[in-house]
Amino acid sequence: MDIAVVGSNMVDLISYINRMPNDGETVEAPDFRMGCGGKGANQAVAASRMGSEVLMVTRVGNDMFADNTIRNFEDNGIDTKYVMRTDATSGVAPIFVDPQSRNSIIIVKGANAKLTPADVQGVKEAIAGCKLIVMQLEIPLDTVYATIELANELNIPVLLNPAPADPALLLDKVSGVEFIVPNESELSLLSGMPVDTRADILNAAHVLLDAGIPNVIVTLGSKGALWVTADKEVMVEAEKVEAVDTTGAGDAFIGCFSHTWTRTGDVAASIEAANKYAGDSVTKRGTQTSYATAKEVGL
Ligand code: RIB
């Protein structure tokens, strides 16, 4: 197994809107799509479509969404042995995409909130052979912390995507990760620093480096990503694309980065590939529906 994703799955309910309604107002939206999402599942699917062997550790509910989510993992070649059914609703995410391709997302964690540290201990043997463990913050923080401890014990590197931003996340509890991949607002929250300029971003990244994390990769949307370590900063620019829907682009980036890094160990080249993969995803609608295979995107 190449990659274990310990994280979330959601059903994305995507409305393509002209504008958000005001208080008490009803507005009509021109289009709607339902699809499989959730940051963990998205990252797993992206890595798998790139060609990695992926194991998913997650909890689905006991409703009509659960079977579809499991089938979707299977269709994408992901190992579902540790996709656990739960006496809860499945996670859902109502999403609103405006004509400028910007998105607003509400998440209802449902079963994802019931993924426990004990669940992760239960998959210790299965994840022991992985080259990378990938996590986000749509599962309980205690589970994130316990997984990092387990990964450190097993000597497996961890990539943490601290999304969605969570003010309760404790930096010293995640200092054992190899990579942290925040966007600008997540970096600001985690470091307690402003991120208005390049100098600000570097200073904020150094707060995470000082906490003991060796690689900080700040995603900058259409501009690309900035990789910062104790002794260097590398800006990897993204190519310009015509965006129609940016939902899940950050997850596409992480899935492709994880795949490429576990194959090559080359961080800069992995960011370059991830920029290209995420850039391709925003030219199509939906979350996982916008993720290409390696061949389709020319990687
Ligand atoms: O990052 C995009 C994802 O965030 C969506 O798929 C939605 O489910 C939320 O988890």
- Annotated active-site residue 251? The verdict is yes
Q: How many whole angstroms from 166 Cα to the centroid of ligand 1?
A: 15
Ligand 1 pocket mutation, candidates 9, 11, 251, criterion most atoms within 8 A of CB: 251
Rounded-to-integer distance, Cα 149 and Cα 153, Å: 6
| Closest CA to ligand 1's atom 9 | 38
43-95 residue pLDDT tens: 999 999 999 999 999 999 999 999 999 999 999 999 999 999 999 999 999 99
How many other C-beta atoms lie within 10 A of the C-beta of residue 265?
Answer: 10
Token pair for residue 43? Answer: 């990252």
Per-residue pLDDT reduced to its tens digit, 184-217:
999 999 999 999 999 999 999 999 999 999 999 9
pLDDT, average across residues 279-293: 96
pLDDT at 113 over 90: yes
Ligand 1 touching residue 258 (CB < 6 A): no
Q: How far is the CA of 79 from the centre of ligand 1 (A)?
A: 21
The 10s digit of each residue's pLDDT in 257-267 is: 999 999 999 99
Q: How far is CA 247 from CA 86, 174, 216, 219, in A?
A: 27, 26, 22, 14
Q: Any binding-site annotation on 246? A: no
Q: Which of 150, 189, 183 is nearest to 166 (CA)?
A: 189
Residue type, 85: R
Considering only CA atoms, which of 166, 167, 181, 170 is closest in space to residue 134? Answer: 181
Contact 12, 93 (CB under 8 A): yes
pLDDT band at 15 (very low <50, low <70, confident <90, very high): very high
* In contact, 245 and 281? CB cutoff 8 Å: no
Count of CA atoms in the C-beta half-sphere (13 A) of 122: 13
Q: What is the pTM of this model?
A: 0.97
Report yes or no: 204 and 193 within 8 Å, Cβ to Cβ.
Answer: yes
Distance 135 CA to ligand 1 centre (A): 13
Q: Is 67 helix (H, G, I), strand (E, B) or coil?
A: helix
Tens digits of residue pLDDT in 133-170? 999 999 999 999 999 999 999 999 999 999 999 999 99
Pocket test for ligand 1, best of 247, 281, 285 (most atoms within 8 A of CB): 247
C-beta of residue 54 within 8 angstroms of C-beta of residue 2? yes
Distance CA 117, CA 275 (A): 33
Q: Of residues 79, 119, 251, 280, which has the active-site annotation?
A: 251
Residue 9 token pair: 């799955």
Mean pLDDT to the nearest integer, 223-231: 98
**CATH superfamily of the 3-21+28-296 domain:** Ribokinase (3.40.1190.20)
Q: Which helix (H) or strand (E) holds 119?
A: helix 117-121
User: Is the pLDDT score of 101 beyond 90?
Assistant: no
Beta-carbon contacts of 136 under 8 Å, excluding residues fewer than 6 positions away, are 7, 8, 39, 40, 43, 160, 161, 162, 163
Q: Which residue has the tokens 């799955």?
A: 9
The overall average pLDDT reported for the chain is: 97
**Does residue 251 have a known ligand-binding role?**
yes
Q: Is 250 annotated as a binding residue?
A: yes
Q: Looking at 66-120, which runs of residues are DSSP E strands?
A: 83-85, 92-97, 103-105
Mean pLDDT score, 13-17: 96
Length of the chain: 299
183 annotated ligand binder: yes
